[in-house]
Structure 1
């Protein structure tokens, strides 16, 4: 089965442990792919201090994953999430697009939380 023909899902069950917070750069971002039964979820985490946010890895403009290179979701100054295909810029704190072809649209939030130093799905 090719990567393009794999079944995609857009949500995850709660309480799946993803990674230690300490493994995320601050500020930084990391790609996460989860296999859930016969389907795959593609998301990414953004760390800002002790806060970790999750988003579905799908640009609202064209439906593509945001990063062309693994884990390269942030602008060089690490102030925005950037779609590497069309240059859309999103606020890390809420996923709202503040520039580019989908201005005003938002990334889909992937609920995550930090428990005992670990990032976990919520």
Structure 2
């Protein structure tokens, strides 16, 4: 069975070399709805996604609203402790959780849209099943 891909936003909604956060709701293994905050980084035509949670203490990465990158714009930065994470791998290169990793989120660009795969998003029950794109 093919994974269902849910559109998060258009690729062009995030400028290249920028990051944007999304607060999603997913259905977990027990069928319960739970909060699922993610951060999406765009680098040209590539996108990288991670759960918006620092491995050090679980704090959100954004240090101000929609501020995820360090001052150089080359790494994700935890706003709580200043840990720095590589964009392509999520590995902590500096800080209290050095060599730990952000939890990756499976993203794919489909027809110009950034889509998330590998999760079941919670949706309003009266929405049609056509909101997901078959990948």
Q: Tell me the TM-score normalised to structure 2 length.
A: 0.77
Q: How does 1:7-86 map to 2 (within 5 A)?
A: 14-36=4-26, 38-86=33-81
Q: Which has the higher contact order (CA 8 A, sep 6+)?
A: 2
1:100 aligns with 2:95: yes
Aligned length: 110
Map Cα deviations across residues 75-116 of structure 1 (whole Å, 9 max, x no partner): 121111000100100000110000010000000001110001
Matched residues in 1 for 2:23 and 2:114: separation? 14
Q: Tell me the TM-score normalised to structure 1 length.
A: 0.85
Aligned alpha-carbon RMSD (Å)? 1.3
Name the counterpart of 2:125: none
What is the deviation of 1:35?
A: 2.3
Matched residues in 2 for 1:32 and 1:20: separation? 13
Name the counterpart of 1:10: none
Higher Cα radius of gyration = 2
Detail structure 1 runs of 4+ shifted over 4 Å in the superposition.
none
What is the deviation of 1:25?
A: 1.4
